[in-house]
Chains A and B, each alone.
Chain A
Protein backbone atom coordinates (compact mmCIF):
# COMPACT_ATOMS: atom_id res chain seq x y z
CA UNK A 1 0.00 0.00 0.00
CA UNK A 2 2.76 2.44 0.91
CA UNK A 3 4.66 2.02 -2.39
CA UNK A 4 1.47 2.74 -4.32
CA UNK A 5 0.82 5.88 -2.29
CA UNK A 6 4.44 6.93 -2.84
CA UNK A 7 4.14 6.43 -6.59
CA UNK A 8 0.77 8.16 -6.82
CA UNK A 9 2.05 11.21 -4.92
CA UNK A 10 5.02 11.50 -7.27
CA UNK A 11 2.95 10.90 -10.39
CA UNK A 12 0.41 13.58 -9.45
CA UNK A 13 3.12 16.09 -8.52
CA UNK A 14 5.18 15.41 -11.66
CA UNK A 15 2.18 15.80 -13.98
CA UNK A 16 0.94 18.93 -12.19
CA UNK A 17 4.41 20.50 -12.28
CA UNK A 18 4.79 19.73 -15.99
CA UNK A 19 1.53 21.54 -16.71
CA UNK A 20 2.63 24.44 -14.51
CA UNK A 21 5.99 24.64 -16.33
CA UNK A 22 4.53 24.95 -19.81
CA UNK A 23 1.86 27.48 -18.76
CA UNK A 24 3.92 30.04 -16.82
CA UNK A 25 4.27 33.45 -18.43
CA UNK A 26 7.59 34.24 -16.72
CA UNK A 27 10.40 31.88 -17.82
CA UNK A 28 12.15 32.26 -14.46
CA UNK A 29 9.14 30.76 -12.71
CA UNK A 30 9.17 27.87 -15.18
CA UNK A 31 12.83 27.17 -14.42
CA UNK A 32 12.23 27.21 -10.67
CA UNK A 33 9.26 24.85 -10.94
CA UNK A 34 11.40 22.62 -13.12
CA UNK A 35 13.89 22.40 -10.24
CA UNK A 36 11.15 20.95 -8.02
CA UNK A 37 10.17 18.58 -10.85
CA UNK A 38 13.73 17.26 -11.20
CA UNK A 39 13.93 16.54 -7.46
CA UNK A 40 10.70 14.53 -7.68
CA UNK A 41 12.01 12.59 -10.68
CA UNK A 42 15.22 11.87 -8.77
CA UNK A 43 13.22 10.53 -5.87
CA UNK A 44 11.30 8.32 -8.30
CA UNK A 45 14.68 6.96 -9.49
CA UNK A 46 15.60 6.16 -5.89
CA UNK A 47 12.31 4.30 -5.59
CA UNK A 48 13.34 2.25 -8.67
CA UNK A 49 16.72 1.28 -7.09
CA UNK A 50 18.73 3.59 -9.36
CA UNK A 51 20.56 5.66 -6.77
CA UNK A 52 23.47 6.59 -9.04
CA UNK A 53 21.06 8.01 -11.61
CA UNK A 54 19.21 9.92 -8.89
CA UNK A 55 22.47 11.63 -7.92
CA UNK A 56 23.30 12.33 -11.57
CA UNK A 57 19.82 13.74 -12.11
CA UNK A 58 20.22 16.24 -9.26
CA UNK A 59 23.84 17.19 -10.01
CA UNK A 60 23.53 17.44 -13.77
CA UNK A 61 19.98 18.58 -14.45
CA UNK A 62 19.23 20.61 -11.35
CA UNK A 63 22.80 21.78 -10.89
CA UNK A 64 24.10 22.40 -14.39
CA UNK A 65 21.40 22.57 -17.05
CA UNK A 66 18.92 24.71 -15.08
CA UNK A 67 21.68 27.16 -14.12
CA UNK A 68 22.51 27.42 -17.83
CA UNK A 69 18.85 28.25 -18.54
CA UNK A 70 18.81 30.88 -15.77
CA UNK A 71 21.97 32.51 -17.14
CA UNK A 72 20.44 32.82 -20.60
CA UNK A 73 17.14 34.17 -19.26
CA UNK A 74 19.08 36.91 -17.48
CA UNK A 75 20.35 38.12 -20.86
CA UNK A 76 16.88 38.45 -22.36
CA UNK A 77 14.20 41.05 -21.89
CA UNK A 78 11.69 39.69 -19.38
CA UNK A 79 9.55 42.85 -19.24
CA UNK A 80 8.60 42.44 -22.89
CA UNK A 81 7.79 38.78 -22.25
CA UNK A 82 5.33 39.60 -19.45
CA UNK A 83 3.08 41.56 -21.82
CA UNK A 84 3.22 39.30 -24.90
CA UNK A 85 0.95 36.40 -25.81
CA UNK A 86 2.28 33.14 -24.42
CA UNK A 87 0.80 30.84 -27.10
CA UNK A 88 0.75 30.81 -30.85
CA UNK A 89 -2.65 31.51 -32.41
CA UNK A 90 -3.17 27.91 -33.50
CA UNK A 91 -2.81 26.40 -30.01
CA UNK A 92 -5.96 24.18 -30.15
CA UNK A 93 -4.35 22.25 -33.03
CA UNK A 94 -1.23 21.62 -30.95
CA UNK A 95 -3.27 20.42 -27.98
CA UNK A 96 -5.31 18.15 -30.27
CA UNK A 97 -2.13 16.61 -31.74
CA UNK A 98 -0.77 16.01 -28.25
CA UNK A 99 -3.97 14.43 -26.94
CA UNK A 100 -4.22 12.12 -29.95
CA UNK A 101 -0.62 10.95 -29.43
CA UNK A 102 -1.39 10.35 -25.75
CA UNK A 103 -4.48 8.31 -26.64
CA UNK A 104 -2.41 6.15 -29.01
CA UNK A 105 0.28 5.48 -26.41
CA UNK A 106 -2.16 4.79 -23.56
CA UNK A 107 -4.07 2.34 -25.77
CA UNK A 108 -0.80 0.64 -26.67
CA UNK A 109 0.37 0.12 -23.08
CA UNK A 110 -1.95 -2.84 -22.52
CA UNK A 111 -0.43 -4.71 -25.46
CA UNK A 112 3.07 -4.62 -23.94
CA UNK A 113 4.71 -7.97 -23.19
CA UNK A 114 8.27 -8.06 -21.96
CA UNK A 115 11.16 -10.15 -23.23
CA UNK A 116 13.62 -12.28 -21.23
CA UNK A 117 14.82 -10.98 -17.87
CA UNK A 118 18.42 -9.82 -17.43
CA UNK A 119 20.96 -10.87 -14.83
CA UNK A 120 20.90 -7.73 -12.69
CA UNK A 121 18.51 -8.95 -10.00
CA UNK A 122 18.10 -6.85 -6.85
CA UNK A 123 20.22 -9.26 -4.77
CA UNK A 124 23.06 -9.31 -7.31
CA UNK A 125 23.12 -5.52 -7.50
CA UNK A 126 22.99 -5.23 -3.71
CA UNK A 127 25.98 -7.55 -3.38
CA UNK A 128 28.05 -5.52 -5.84
CA UNK A 129 26.68 -1.99 -5.13
CA UNK A 130 24.75 -0.13 -7.80
CA UNK A 131 27.44 2.25 -9.05
CA UNK A 132 29.99 -0.51 -9.53
CA UNK A 133 27.54 -2.74 -11.38
CA UNK A 134 26.42 0.13 -13.62
CA UNK A 135 30.02 1.12 -14.32
CA UNK A 136 30.87 -2.44 -15.25
CA UNK A 137 28.11 -2.55 -17.87
CA UNK A 138 28.93 0.96 -19.11
CA UNK A 139 32.67 0.46 -19.50
CA UNK A 140 32.66 -3.17 -20.66
CA UNK A 141 29.67 -3.58 -22.97
CA UNK A 142 29.07 0.04 -23.96
CA UNK A 143 32.59 1.41 -24.21
CA UNK A 144 32.28 2.48 -27.86
CA UNK A 145 28.99 4.39 -27.41
CA UNK A 146 30.57 5.97 -24.33
CA UNK A 147 33.45 7.30 -26.44
CA UNK A 148 30.99 8.61 -29.01
CA UNK A 149 29.15 10.41 -26.20
CA UNK A 150 32.39 12.12 -25.21
CA UNK A 151 32.88 13.29 -28.80
CA UNK A 152 29.31 14.65 -28.79
CA UNK A 153 30.15 16.66 -25.66
CA UNK A 154 33.34 17.97 -27.26
CA UNK A 155 31.44 19.08 -30.38
CA UNK A 156 28.82 20.74 -28.16
CA UNK A 157 31.49 22.71 -26.29
CA UNK A 158 33.15 23.90 -29.50
CA UNK A 159 29.82 24.63 -31.16
CA UNK A 160 28.48 26.61 -28.22
CA UNK A 161 31.64 28.75 -28.10
CA UNK A 162 31.58 29.37 -31.86
CA UNK A 163 27.88 30.27 -31.87
CA UNK A 164 27.91 32.58 -28.87
CA UNK A 165 31.24 34.29 -29.61
CA UNK A 166 31.24 37.98 -30.49
CA UNK A 167 31.67 38.74 -34.17
CA UNK A 168 35.14 40.14 -34.87
CA UNK A 169 35.13 43.45 -36.72
CA UNK A 170 36.20 42.84 -40.31
CA UNK A 171 39.84 43.64 -40.91
CA UNK A 172 40.54 43.66 -37.18
Chain B
Protein backbone atom coordinates (compact mmCIF):
# COMPACT_ATOMS: atom_id res chain seq x y z
CA UNK B 1 0.00 0.00 0.00
CA UNK B 2 1.40 3.36 -1.05
CA UNK B 3 1.20 5.89 1.82
CA UNK B 4 -1.05 8.90 1.38
CA UNK B 5 1.81 11.29 2.10
CA UNK B 6 3.60 10.18 -1.08
CA UNK B 7 0.67 11.37 -3.13
CA UNK B 8 0.62 14.71 -1.32
CA UNK B 9 4.36 15.04 -1.88
CA UNK B 10 3.98 14.32 -5.60
CA UNK B 11 1.15 16.84 -5.77
CA UNK B 12 3.22 19.49 -3.97
CA UNK B 13 6.21 19.00 -6.27
CA UNK B 14 4.12 19.22 -9.45
CA UNK B 15 2.29 22.27 -8.07
CA UNK B 16 5.59 24.03 -7.37
CA UNK B 17 6.91 23.20 -10.85
CA UNK B 18 3.75 24.73 -12.31
CA UNK B 19 4.16 27.77 -10.08
CA UNK B 20 7.78 28.27 -11.15
CA UNK B 21 6.71 27.93 -14.78
CA UNK B 22 4.03 30.53 -14.28
CA UNK B 23 6.43 32.98 -12.65
CA UNK B 24 9.50 32.68 -14.87
CA UNK B 25 8.18 32.04 -18.38
CA UNK B 26 7.49 34.97 -20.72
CA UNK B 27 5.12 33.22 -23.13
CA UNK B 28 1.47 33.51 -22.12
CA UNK B 29 0.59 30.11 -23.63
CA UNK B 30 3.15 28.38 -21.42
CA UNK B 31 1.85 30.36 -18.43
CA UNK B 32 -1.69 29.10 -19.10
CA UNK B 33 -0.32 25.56 -19.39
CA UNK B 34 1.42 26.02 -16.04
CA UNK B 35 -1.97 26.89 -14.53
CA UNK B 36 -3.37 23.64 -15.96
CA UNK B 37 -0.39 21.83 -14.40
CA UNK B 38 -1.17 23.32 -10.98
CA UNK B 39 -4.87 22.42 -11.23
CA UNK B 40 -3.93 18.86 -12.19
CA UNK B 41 -1.59 18.51 -9.22
CA UNK B 42 -4.41 19.56 -6.90
CA UNK B 43 -6.66 17.01 -8.59
CA UNK B 44 -4.13 14.25 -7.85
CA UNK B 45 -4.12 15.10 -4.15
CA UNK B 46 -7.95 15.34 -4.01
CA UNK B 47 -8.40 11.93 -5.64
CA UNK B 48 -5.82 10.44 -3.28
CA UNK B 49 -7.62 11.91 -0.26
CA UNK B 50 -10.92 10.62 -1.61
CA UNK B 51 -9.49 7.10 -1.95
CA UNK B 52 -7.77 6.97 1.42
CA UNK B 53 -10.62 8.56 3.41
CA UNK B 54 -13.25 6.51 1.51
CA UNK B 55 -15.34 9.55 0.74
CA UNK B 56 -16.65 10.78 -2.60
CA UNK B 57 -16.45 14.47 -1.83
CA UNK B 58 -12.89 14.73 -3.11
CA UNK B 59 -13.88 13.31 -6.49
CA UNK B 60 -16.88 15.65 -6.73
CA UNK B 61 -14.47 18.51 -6.15
CA UNK B 62 -12.25 17.20 -8.95
CA UNK B 63 -15.22 17.38 -11.34
CA UNK B 64 -15.81 21.01 -10.36
CA UNK B 65 -12.11 21.82 -10.76
CA UNK B 66 -12.10 20.31 -14.25
CA UNK B 67 -15.14 22.46 -15.12
CA UNK B 68 -13.45 25.62 -13.90
CA UNK B 69 -10.21 24.64 -15.68
CA UNK B 70 -12.06 24.30 -18.98
CA UNK B 71 -13.75 27.68 -18.51
CA UNK B 72 -10.44 29.27 -17.51
CA UNK B 73 -8.62 27.85 -20.53
CA UNK B 74 -11.33 29.09 -22.90
CA UNK B 75 -11.37 32.60 -21.43
CA UNK B 76 -7.58 32.79 -21.17
CA UNK B 77 -7.03 31.74 -24.75
CA UNK B 78 -9.73 34.17 -25.95
CA UNK B 79 -7.92 36.97 -24.12
CA UNK B 80 -4.67 35.81 -25.73
CA UNK B 81 -6.25 35.90 -29.20
CA UNK B 82 -7.61 39.42 -28.58
CA UNK B 83 -4.21 40.52 -27.27
CA UNK B 84 -2.39 39.08 -30.26
CA UNK B 85 -4.79 40.81 -32.65
CA UNK B 86 -4.21 44.18 -31.01
CA UNK B 87 -0.52 44.12 -30.14
CA UNK B 88 0.86 40.94 -31.82
CA UNK B 89 2.78 40.21 -28.62
CA UNK B 90 2.60 37.00 -26.60
CA UNK B 91 5.34 37.91 -24.13
CA UNK B 92 4.31 39.28 -20.79
CA UNK B 93 7.21 41.72 -20.49
CA UNK B 94 6.28 43.39 -23.77
CA UNK B 95 2.83 44.34 -22.46
CA UNK B 96 3.30 47.30 -20.13
CA UNK B 97 0.53 49.78 -20.84
CA UNK B 98 -0.69 49.67 -17.27
CA UNK B 99 2.66 50.36 -15.64
CA UNK B 100 2.07 53.32 -13.33
Greatest chain A CB density within 10 A among B9, B62, B78 is at B78
Instruction: List which B31-76 residues lie within 8 A (CB) of chain A.
Output: 32-34, 36-37, 40, 43-44, 47-57, 59-60, 62-64, 66-75
A residues 48-76 near B (Cβ < 8 Å) are: 48-50, 52-53, 56-57, 60-61, 64-65, 68-69, 72-73, 75-76
A127 part of interface (Cβ distance < 8 Å):
no
CA A105 to CA B13, docked complex, whole Å = 9
Q: Which of A129-144 contact B (CB under 8 A)?
A: 133-134, 137-138, 141-142
Give A6-21 as 1s and 0s: 1 = Cβ < 8 Å from B's Cβ atoms: 0100010011001101
Of all chain A residues, the one with the shortest Cβ separation from B92 is: A88
Q: Within residues 1 to 45 of chain B, which ones have a CB less than 8 A from any CB in chain A? A: 1-2, 4-6, 8-10, 12-21, 23-27, 29-30, 32-34, 36-37, 40, 43-44
CB–CB A110/B21 < 8 A: no
Q: Are A60 and B66 touching (Cβ within 8 A)? A: yes
- Count contacts on B: residues with CB < 8 A to the other chain: 71
Determine the chain A residues whose CB is within 8 A of the CB of B95 once the complex forms: none
Is B34 a contact of A163 with CB atoms below 8 Å?
no
Cα A45 to Cα B30 in complex, Å, equals 25
**By the criterion of a CB under 8 Å from any partner CB, how many residues of chain A are at the interface?**
85
Q: Which residues of A contact B56 (CB under 8 A)?
A: 118, 120, 133-134, 137
Residues of B whose CB lies within 8 Å of any CB of A are 1-2, 4-6, 8-10, 12-21, 23-27, 29-30, 32-34, 36-37, 40, 43-44, 47-57, 59-60, 62-64, 66-75, 77-82, 84, 88, 90-93
On A, residues with C-beta under 8 Å from B are 3-4, 7, 11, 14-15, 18-19, 21-22, 24, 27, 30-31, 34, 37-38, 41, 44-45, 48-50, 52-53, 56-57, 60-61, 64-65, 68-69, 72-73, 75-77, 81, 84-88, 90-91, 93-95, 97-99, 101-102, 105-106, 109-110, 112, 114-115, 117-122, 133-134, 137-138, 141-142, 145, 149, 152-153, 155-157, 159-161, 163-164
